[in-house]
Amino acid sequence: MRTIVMKFGGASVDSPESFLHIADIIAARRKSYSNVVVVVSAMGDTTNQLLSLARKVHPDPPKREEDMLVSAGERMSSALLAMALKRKGFDALSFTGSQVGIVTSAKHADARILDVRPFRLFAPLRQGKVVIVAGFQGVGLDGGITTLGRGGSDTTAVALAAALQAQKVEFFKDVKGVFSTDPKMDPSAKFHEHLSYEEARAIVQKGSCILHERAIDLAAKAGICLRVLSYKQSVDSDEGTTIGFSSIDHEELPNPSFSKTKGQGYEALFQQEVKEVFSGV
């Protein structure tokens, strides 16, 4: 049983109509993969709007309450996408980060993932349902809702892929892949069809916001193929950038068994992040 994780950012879900469009993209992938897990960000500028709203109430809001507020944006997107898929004739269930077992440090607004326990996803995936997860969030060791910082939904997607032993993660952006510079600002920007993890990290470190650096690092540790594509292309288009494994080679790796009670060896993948959390304590 082949598994794919798909991640859609805020620009791809900036209107009610956009949910129906990305539902078509998901439906196309459903033809090739038995298990489809989708991670979504908040709609458009929702996170900034919620942060602005918080500061109208309190100039320096408590971080715990701020996390409770801003995490609502991703929950809203996940529910709306489940509705859009249902309208297209596909069974789908939405989940929060805490519901799918994304355990984090208790550092609000910039938490680190410590563990992923996705046991609640196994049954709906076995039933052929599309699983939609609210990105950017988890549950802290103290039981409180946490957020992973800007770009955290990318890390959510890779962490779930590692736990579920997915074949790859696809990130859908407003450009067709990774470029040497921002193609919207530089018409001469070079398009990259394939990058190593190190090359992708170097581009991000130069200021590109195409992917979260933490997500690339985790993918490298887990050996997960990353693909960056445009949601503006036709639903069957596969043009984009591959990071890490070639997608063809990676399809030959063993597939997960959801009859197991736990993913194999994924806890070690987060060991470095655990060290980062406690290094300053």
Q: Report how far Cα 276 is from the mean position of its chain's Cα atoms.
A: 21
pLDDT tier at 281 (50, 70, 90 boundaries)? very low
Mean pLDDT of 75-82: 98
- Cα–Cα distance, 256 to 264 (Å, whole number): 9
Least confident among 70-84, 155-169, 189-203, 252-266: 252-266
Mode of pairing for the β-strands spanning 130-134 and 35-40: parallel
Q: Of the candidates 149, 164, 157, 169, which has an alpha carbon nearest to the alpha carbon of residue 276?
A: 149
Mode of pairing for the β-strands spanning 168-173 and 3-8: parallel
- Cα–Cα distance, 52 to 48 (Å, whole number): 6
Mean pLDDT of 68-74: 98
pLDDT of amino acid 257: 45
pLDDT of amino acid 237: 82
Residue pLDDT, tens place only, 207-257: 888 999 999 999 999 999 999 999 998 888 889 999 997 544 444 444 444
Q: Which residue has the higher pLDDT, 266 or 28?
A: 28
pLDDT of amino acid 20: 97
pLDDT of amino acid 272: 52
Whole-model pTM?
0.88
pLDDT of amino acid 271: 46
Mean pLDDT of 10-35: 96
Q: Rounded to a whole number, what is the distance in angstroms from the first to the last CA of the chain?
A: 42
Mean pLDDT of 69-79: 98
Residue pLDDT, tens place only, 98-138: 999 999 999 999 999 999 999 999 999 999 999 999 999 99
Q: Which residue has the higher pLDDT, 281 or 14?
A: 14
- Cα–Cα distance, 118 to 129 (Å, whole number): 15
Kindly state the helix (H) or strand (E) to which residue 204 belongs, with its residue range: helix 197-205
pLDDT of amino acid 256: 44
Q: Which percentage of the chain shows pLDDT scores above 70?
A: 87
Least confident among 1-10, 125-134, 175-184, 262-271: 262-271
Q: Of the candidates 50, 51, 45, 47, which has an alpha carbon nearest to the alpha carbon of residue 14?
A: 45
Burial 206-222 (b: 16+ CB within 10 A, else e): eebebbbbbbbbbbbbb
Q: Please list the residues that pair with 131 across neighbouring strands.
A: 37, 93
pLDDT of residue 261 exceeding 90, the answer is no
Q: Please list the residues that pair with 6 across neighbouring strands.
A: 38, 170
Kindly state the helix (H) or strand (E) to which residue 272 belongs, with its residue range: helix 271-279
The CATH number of the domain holding residue 125 is: 3.40.1160.10
199 by Cβ neighbours in 10 Å (0-12 / 13-18 / 19+) ranks as middle
pLDDT of amino acid 235: 85
Kindly state the helix (H) or strand (E) to which residue 77 belongs, with its residue range: helix 63-87
pLDDT of amino acid 70: 97
- Cα–Cα distance, 264 to 281 (Å, whole number): 30
Domain region containing 86: 3-279
Judged by DSSP in three states, 157 sits in helix
pLDDT tier at 145 (50, 70, 90 boundaries)? very high
For residue 224 the two structure tokens come to 């997960």
pLDDT of amino acid 249: 47
- What does the mean pLDDT of the chain come to? 89
Mean pLDDT of 4-29: 96
How many domains are contained in the chain?
A: 1
